[in-house]
Amino acid sequence: MPKKHVDVLLFVEHVARELDVACAVKYLACARYNLNVEIASTVFDIDRTLKMFKPEVVAVPYCIGIISSPIDQLLREWPHAVYVNLAYEQLFREHQLAAKAPKDDLARSHLLYVSWGKFNSDFLITNGVDSRNIADIGNPVYALYRGVNSHYFESRATLAKRFGLDDAKRWVFIPENYGAAFGTDRTVRSPAAGGGKIASEVREFALRSFNEAACWWSKLAESQEIELIVRPRPATALSNFTQALREVAGTIPERLRVIKDGTIREWILASDAVFSSYSTSLIEGAIAGKPVHMLAPVAFPIHLNTEWHSMVPSVTTFEQFAGSAIDSRAQLAGAELGTWAENVMMAKEDAILGLTKYLSSIRTGDTHIPQKVPSEMIRGFDHNNNGVQRPSGGLAGQVRGIAARVYRTVRGSGPSDHESDKFSDEDVHERVTRWSEVLG
């Protein structure tokens, strides 16, 4: 059977983080630019995708070089396509910068980048990326909170009915960010990239913070005034999370709702207050106009601090946590953070439309297109039988692979890291249909 020709093939790693944006782009690309866009997973059914499609433009959610899975497989099958890094991670802490920097000539010279703002464009250029390969369009995920885009998500009333929540109570939303405690933080899984000492400190900090915060959640959930909604990170298995929660806090109170369904967007929009650790979900909460607070039961190691943390009020005791969660007057908490995010990452037009325009300009050749990836670069890459990708003969790659396998065993994490990331053609169709109703 001949492969289906598509203008743009959009890859998704984490459904909760990326699929809504991808489906909005698919709808807009067809409706406004007459482009055929398909969406596929980087985690599931790669062989099927390779056999099914012949794309002109391939957009991936993450790529620091040919070592990034599954970029080598895509290059082998589609060497003549134009490759775009959607870069869904751009706000890095100091100790992550070296690990997140472009690693090879593919990343520096042959890959196009979507950048959220000047801060990231400067980071890429400093690390050798050709400035012509960077498009500063803003953050598409943050655009989901703005204007008509926010109408795409399920309403508070719908969520209340679906999950048995009391719509009349105050909803306190906690998107947890203790991935290092569960072995699902890339920095911890790959300590060779960020420094073994730092990785150990991050893991220890996350474990201590989770243990303390879990007790806070359990105690506060005994209140009859609120619904406390805790959402595990997409990469953390729900069973592992609830097991750890029970080990620390004992019985999970009725109003401590551990819910992994949906995205943080609909929960932030529906909730009355947002609490997290150093998660960028606090930025999203501030953009949505919600009061936000940083959970800090344990002092942050210095290397976890970053520019925007000072713009968020911290709660360091249970009394502060409970008071801020219940107090409906704390509406201005985090307003400075929202203003900063808008100026730094949302200064241009709607970034979802901007991304769609950019992909269209790549397809039509109306923007700079880098030279195709040299065939010798693709042939020279070794994909070993363990699924750990590395440059042929590269000792550093072997070390990273071993470390990754070791740290993925923390708290029993493993393949279930992606338990919520499988999606079907029907899922895509349903989301695209919703976007058509919202965007017209």
Would you place residue 30 in the very low, low, confident or very high pLDDT band (cuts 50, 70, 90)? very high
| Res 186: pLDDT | 55
In 3D space, the residue among 356, 425, 420, 427 whose CA is nearest the CA of residue 17 turns out to be 420
pLDDT digits (tens, 9 = 90+) for 225-246: 899 999 988 778 888 889 989 9
Span 113-125, average pLDDT: 97
Would you place residue 390 in the very low, low, confident or very high pLDDT band (cuts 50, 70, 90)? very low
Q: Is the pLDDT of residue 382 over 70?
A: no
- Angle CA(66)–CA(97)–CA(373) in degrees, nearest 5? 20
Give dist(CA 11, CA 72) in Å, integer: 14
Range with lowest mean pLDDT among 115-119, 243-247, 250-254, 414-418 = 414-418
Give dist(CA 229, CA 217) in Å, integer: 9
**Angle, helices 351-364/15-33, rounded to nearest 10 degrees:** 60
Would you place residue 36 in the very low, low, confident or very high pLDDT band (cuts 50, 70, 90)? very high
Span 96-116, average pLDDT: 94
| Res 415: pLDDT | 41
Q: Is the pLDDT of residue 191 over 50?
A: no
* Of 95 and 256, the one with more pLDDT: 256
Span 305-328, average pLDDT: 90
Q: Is the pLDDT of residue 223 over 70?
A: yes
* Of 321 and 304, the one with more pLDDT: 321
* Of 435 and 440, the one with more pLDDT: 435
Residue 434 tokens, joined = 């919703």
Would you place residue 379 in the very low, low, confident or very high pLDDT band (cuts 50, 70, 90)? confident
| Res 234: pLDDT | 78
Based on C-alpha coordinates, what's the Rg of the chain? 22
In 3D space, the residue among 256, 260, 234 whose CA is nearest the CA of residue 246 turns out to be 256
| Res 196: pLDDT | 67
Percent pLDDT > 90 in the chain is 66
Q: Is the pLDDT of residue 373 over 60?
A: yes
Query: 3-state secondary structure string, the chain?
Result: CCCEEEEEEEEECCHHHHHHHHHHHHHHHHHHHCCCEEEEECCCCHHHHHHHEEEEEEEECCCCCCCCCCHHHHHHHCCCCEEEECCCCCCCCHHHHHHHCCCCHHHHHCCEEEECCHHHHHHHHHCCCCHHHEEECCCCCHHHHCHHHHHHCCCHHHHHHHHCCCCCCEEEEEECCCHHHHCCCHHHHCHHHHCHHHHHHHHHHHHHHHHHHHHHHHHHCCCCCEEEEEECCCCCCHHHHHHHHHHHHCCCCCCEEECCCCCHHHHHHHCCEEEECCCCHHHHHHHCCCCEEEECCCCCCHHHCCHHHHHCCEECCHHHHHHHHHCCCCCCCCHHHHHHHHHHHCCCCCHHHHHHHHHHHHHHCCCCCCCCCCHHHHHCEEECCCCCEEECCCHHHHHHHHHHHHHCCHHHCCHHHHCCCCCCHHHHHHHHHHHHHHHC
Would you place residue 278 in the very low, low, confident or very high pLDDT band (cuts 50, 70, 90)? confident
Q: Read off the amino acid at residue 104.
A: D
Span 111-123, average pLDDT: 97
| Res 328: pLDDT | 65
| Res 386: pLDDT | 35
Q: Is the pLDDT of residue 58 over 90?
A: yes
| Res 185: pLDDT | 55
Q: Is the pLDDT of residue 184 over 60?
A: no
Span 366-385, average pLDDT: 80
Q: Is the pLDDT of residue 425 over 60?
A: yes
Give dist(CA 432, CA 23) in Å, integer: 5
Strand order in the sheet with 82-85: 37-41, 4-12, 53-60, 82-85, 112-115, 134-136
Look up the pTM and report it. Answer: 0.86
pLDDT digits (tens, 9 = 90+) for 131-140: 999 999 999 9
Task: Name the average pLDDT for the chain.
Answer: 87
Would you place residue 44 in the very low, low, confident or very high pLDDT band (cuts 50, 70, 90)? very high
How buried is residue 34: exposed, middle or buried, by Cβ count under 10 Å (0-12/13-18/19+)? exposed
